[in-house]
A and B are shown apart, each in its own frame.
Chain A
Amino acid sequence: MSEVADKVSFQVNEQGYYGVFGGAFIPEMLYPNVEELRDNYLKIMAEPEFQREFNDLLRDYVGRPTPLYFAKRLSEKYGTNIYLKREDLCHTGAHKVNNTIGQILMAKRLGKKKIVAETGAGQHGVATATVCALMGVECIVYMGELDIERQAPNVARMKLLGAEVRPASSGSKTLKDATNEAMRHWISNPVDTHYIIGSVVGPHPYPDMVARFQSVISEEIKKQLAEKTGRENPDFVVACVGGGSNAAGAFYHYLDVPEVQLVAVEAAGQGITSGHSAATTALGKPGVLHGSRTILMQTEDGQVVEPYSISAGLDYPGIGPMHAYLYDSGRGKFLSATDEEALQAAFELARTEGIIPALETSHALAVLDRLGATQDQIVVVNLSGRGDKDLATYMKHID
């Protein structure tokens, strides 16, 4: 690697930081677990046997590679060339499973017998329950009491898969509280349990580990785009950001390719200034959340603010430290889409391409007219999940 490339790297450094963001801000009770993971994750991921098992499962169980689909009618509409990376076609219906497959294999190699996870919309919970069923491992998923009510189908799926769904009844009873409860569970069960975090958040090495497991997305985009267009670098890669795992995966192999514009789309909720929003970079400040220094929505006194979005998967008050660095350094362009814009984008994709996207993903689709992409340029949108789970919301809002 050249010296210049080293200097501009947006990868995590050896201390676990992306610029000033990242690190491991954890109570001592979690230190041995996090240290064990930190000291072993790269070694384990590099083992040929791990690689083989991971890739076989991604191919035969998840259904990878997922297609890179040229959306002809959508492209005509926006006067550019739009490709959709079809993560919605993964087993379980979203990109989340790329990470849970990786982490369950990691947990097995660390000798862990039980799994704990948090979930918001339930997609990560389902993906975790799925791999636990696959491996015959006990699985506990914490989910905010309010989200359990809002996302009944996913709760049912987790139960059917044999997982125990425990309500997080503290705080605001949503994703952030489910994350707190999962951390508390891990504190109380440090020896036999592995915590499968669902996004590129948490203490180092989680953000880097999850990004690496999700990086298969951009690895495939590069190859597929080259096959289809003769060039491996698009002009834009667009993805929605809650914690930011699908964006991290879609950006990963383009992080140090400056000619590729990385566009992250946050949930503006009812509008950035409405008081009901989850647009972290627009509303947040640097601080510490769930074990890492990042950008988060907080009061003047440093209390974490409860965000709002129509999409439970983007309803998170922070972003992963890698994204905080992409934002802070200007490498990433951060936009936001309101509930209404996301809904319209979902309806548009359904009717122009015959694909019903997840509400989260719809936020990424909602900014297509704001990119300034020209006729000869290429836009890749990471279609992170399918919309079956959101049908009730869609039906409520359809004209």
Chain B
Amino acid sequence: MNRIIQLFNDQPTGNLNVYFTAGFPQLDDTRRILAALQEGGVDLVEIGMPYSDPVADGETIQQSNQQALENGMTLRTLFKQLEGMRETIHVPVLLMGYVNPVVQYGIEEFCRKCAEVGVDGLILPDMPMDVYLNEYKAIFDSYGLLNIFLVTPQTSEKRIRQIDEVSAGFIYTVSSASVTGSQTGVSGDMEAYFDRLNAMNLRNPRLIGFGIKDRPTFEKACCYSQGAIIGSAFIRILQESNNLEEDIKNFISEVKANKRTEIGV
């Protein structure tokens, strides 16, 4: 079974998904960060494929993308770095990025490599649903890759139903009208939107992203969904870190403190 689906079957609540940009802060940090995240206790990991023009991302993630590209990160290099990761990494791994580099790599070859190294799902925010369904879904399916769709506070109920219909794994619930990293906290407006989603009884679990940065925001998001996604706040940790392993583990255990005591770690 796909590791993402397995995860939500086994552990339906309190899931923490952490995003980091491949090749940042140093080109060869990918595996170190991945291992430290797993050790710290994250439930899913989202690896960003750096792109020159990430329109859905705020300043923090943009800069990490640019730095990663300057460090020489490419998809070829990333796949090389991820070779053999499944010997030690058992958490679900997703790749997040924009369609152009993927299309240039070649969709079929890209999916084949993802399956080969053990990637479970993809988040390509600028891939239109109709293009996915008509051109790419069959290929994704044949390699066992899940495509994760986004919903926002402005997404109509009809379209949420459509997205739920074609989704597997989870639905990425964007908390507010913004790019990544520019919002803080969970406001009353957001709560109404999360309640509305809850009331829809969707087939898929939901992870809330954008504006989740620490334990209070993570716990708040978990009240309304099956978990949450941290991106920019984690990139800032990486940016400032002198000891990646230790800082990553501290950050994750701080965010997930609640759960750690529950399971008696």
Contact = CB atoms under 8 A, between A and B. Distances in A.
B100 A302 contact: yes
A188 B103 contact: no
Q: Which of B51, B55, B126 has the most CB of A within 10 A?
A: B55
B152 A29 contact: yes
A127 to B, nearest CB: 23
Given A25-B131, A27-B126, A288-B126, A171 B100 contact: no
A298 B104 contact: yes
Which of B66, B105, B154 has the most chain A CB atoms inside 10 A of its CB? B154
B128 A302 contact: no
Interface stretch (A142-150, A176-184, A218-226, A369-377): A176-184
Given A301-B75, A301-B101, A302-B104, A31 B159 contact: yes
A285 B125 CA distance: 22
B82 interface: no
B154 A29 contact: yes
Contacts of B62: 170-171
Interface residues of B, number: 40
Contacts of A301: 74-76, 101, 104-105
Interface residues of A, number: 36
Given A187-B178, A188-B178, A27 B150 contact: yes
Contacts, number: 108
A183 B155 CA distance: 17
A287 interface: yes
B155 A304 contact: no
A289 interface: yes
A129 B159 CA distance: 35
Nearest to B179: A184
Which of B102, B103, B104, B182 gathers the greatest number of chain A CB atoms within 10 Å? B104
A32 interface: yes
A304 B100 contact: yes
Given A187-B56, A288-B98, A302-B105, 18 more contacts: A25-B131, A27-B56, A27-B125, A27-B126, A28-B152, A28-B155, A33-B154, A170-B66, A171-B52, A171-B53, A171-B62, A180-B53, A188-B182, A285-B104, A287-B103, A291-B126, A302-B102, A303-B51
Interface of A: 15, 23-29, 31-33, 170-171, 176-177, 180, 183-184, 187-191, 285, 287-291, 296, 298, 300-304
Query: Across chains A and B, which 7 residue pairs bring their CB atoms closest together, nearest first?
Result: A302-B104, A302-B101, A28-B150, A27-B125, A27-B56, A32-B154, A303-B52
